């Protein structure tokens, strides 16, 4: 057994270079009334993929703007039946049945269009499993008042990660349900605590009574009450937003920890909810103050943070691993990656 080597993921992009790409994307998108946005999306994805580097090798993204545009045209055309009364009922049923298949196609498209060191990723899904994890299980968890939701989250990750491959090497994910419950309960716990504390601090009950009284008697409510009503809105955001980041941070760490890639590659993620929240809020404030001009900086900043907190652990050198996969893929020929034909590229 060779000793395991840790490779730090690096993000080599910067706000300066991304700004040019971003602003030109926007100008061309506006001038073409949105048509160019398909090409803009590809350009942006390529920038972030090419600047994500492990051990001197970078990712890349290979979809063409034409593919994305065609997929969007199909999606817009497919929306038409949903606008016609009664026909839309049939359309919804068709969509429900097509949904697992569409999701599989979308994941597969994104995987196949992404490469690391010129070796492509791939995804093989199954309609049945996709139906279970994306539709049936989430529906069933409703009847448990979402208390069983962590089981659903684990099933989703087991399916999506397990279906991916790099070259010919398969990814796998296995984990106890514990980490999923930890992420879920911490997030829900925070939301409930913040809501209760905030509600009591503002005097929520009394507030609702006064509002009910005002609307029943037709008296204009006191402006102070409207301000407190606004505060209630703030409390709501202070409860829900951090909860989302808490969940994402713990989930990401747990998922990376328990993911393996055939050939002895493991992953590690060390993001923290506090830093994610700080980045999101401060980026939003800066973006608003600069009328959006600092948005590229915000995106680069998030990408850099995520890269800094991601490591790849390989037994032996990554060079050797990538070389082996490249050789295997070449031996199989391109037919292996192109065999499924046209891609819908639904960006879900």
Residues that bind another protein (CB under 8 A): 12-14, 16-21, 23-27, 29-31, 33-34, 37, 40-41, 43-44, 46-47, 50-51, 58, 84-86, 118, 215, 218-220, 241, 244, 280-281, 283-284, 287-288, 292-293, 295, 298-299, 302
Residue 215 or 317 having the CB closest to another protein: 215
Nearest alpha carbon to residue 295 among 15, 87, 64, 108:
15
Residue 216 or 339 having the CB closest to another protein: 216
Report how far residue 104's alpha carbon sits from residue 340's, in angstroms, rounded to the nearest whole number.
12
**Minimum CB–partner distance for residue 250 and another protein (Å):** 17
Residue 46 or 268 having the CB closest to another protein: 46
Residue 231 or 244 having the CB closest to another protein: 244
**Minimum CB–partner distance for residue 109 and another protein (Å):** 17
How crowded is the C-beta side of 21, counted as CA atoms within 13 Å? Answer: 20
And the tokens for 297? 């900086």
Residue 155 or 295 having the CB closest to another protein: 295
Residue 84 or 140 having the CB closest to another protein: 84
Per DSSP, helices labelled H in the chain are: 15-31, 37-50, 65-83, 87-112, 127-131, 137-143, 149-163, 178-202, 204-217, 223-257, 273-289, 295-308, 318-332, 335-338
Residue bearing tokens 């639904």 = 346
**Minimum CB–partner distance for residue 21 and another protein (Å):** 5
**Minimum CB–partner distance for residue 147 and another protein (Å):** 26
**Minimum CB–partner distance for residue 86 and another protein (Å):** 7
**Minimum CB–partner distance for residue 267 and another protein (Å):** 23
Residue bearing tokens 């005097």 = 203
Nearest alpha carbon to residue 98 among 65, 75, 116, 67:
75
125-134 core/surface letters (b: 16 or more CB in 10 A; e: else): beeebbbbbb
Nearest alpha carbon to residue 306 among 3, 9, 72:
9
**Minimum CB–partner distance for residue 158 and another protein (Å):** 26
Report how far residue 101's alpha carbon sits from residue 92's, in angstroms, rounded to the nearest whole number.
15
Question: Which residues are 38's β-sheet partners?
Answer: none
Residue 41 or 154 having the CB closest to another protein: 41
């Amino acid at each position: 057994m060779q000793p395991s080597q840790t490779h730090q993921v690096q993000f080599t992009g910067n706000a300066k270079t991304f700004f040019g790409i971003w602003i030109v994307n926007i100008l061309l998108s506006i001038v073409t009334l949105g048509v160019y946005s398909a090409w803009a999306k590809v350009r942006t994805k390529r920038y972030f993929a090419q600047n994500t580097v492990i051990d001197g090798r970078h990712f890349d993204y290979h979809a063409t703007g034409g593919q994305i545009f065609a997929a969007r045209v199909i999606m817009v055309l497919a929306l038409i039946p949903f606008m016609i009364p009664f026909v839309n009922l049939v359309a919804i049923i068709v969509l429900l049945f097509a949904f697992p298949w569409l999701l599989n196609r979308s994941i597969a498209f994104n995987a196949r269009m992404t490469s690391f060191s010129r070796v492509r990723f791939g995804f093989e899904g199954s309609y049945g499993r996709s139906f279970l994890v994306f539709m049936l299980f989430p529906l069933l968890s409703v009847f448990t008042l979402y208390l069983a939701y962590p089981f659903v989250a684990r099933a989703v990750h087991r399916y999506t990660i397990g279906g991916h491959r790099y070259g010919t090497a398969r990814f796998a994910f296995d984990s106890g349900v514990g980490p999923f419950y930890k992420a879920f309960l911490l997030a829900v716990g925070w939301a409930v605590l913040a809501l209760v504390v905030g509600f009591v601090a503002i005097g929520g009950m009394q507030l609702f009574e006064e509002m009910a009284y005002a609307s029943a008697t037709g008296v204009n409510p006191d402006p102070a009450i409207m301000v407190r009503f606004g505060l209630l809105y703030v409390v709501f955001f202070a409860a829900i937003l951090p909860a989302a980041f808490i969940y994402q941070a713990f989930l990401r760490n747990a998922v990376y920890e328990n993911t393996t890639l055939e050939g002895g590659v493991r992953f590690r993620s060390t993001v923290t909810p506090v830093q994610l929240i700080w980045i999101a809020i401060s980026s939003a404030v800066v973006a608003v103050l600069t009328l959006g001009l600092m948005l590229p900086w915000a995106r680069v900043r998030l990408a850099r943070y995520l890269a800094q907190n991601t490591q790849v652990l390989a037994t032996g050198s990554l060079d050797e691993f990538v070389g082996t996969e490249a050789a295997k893929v070449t031996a199989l020929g391109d037919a292996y990656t192109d065999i499924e034909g046209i891609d819908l590229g639904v960006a879900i």
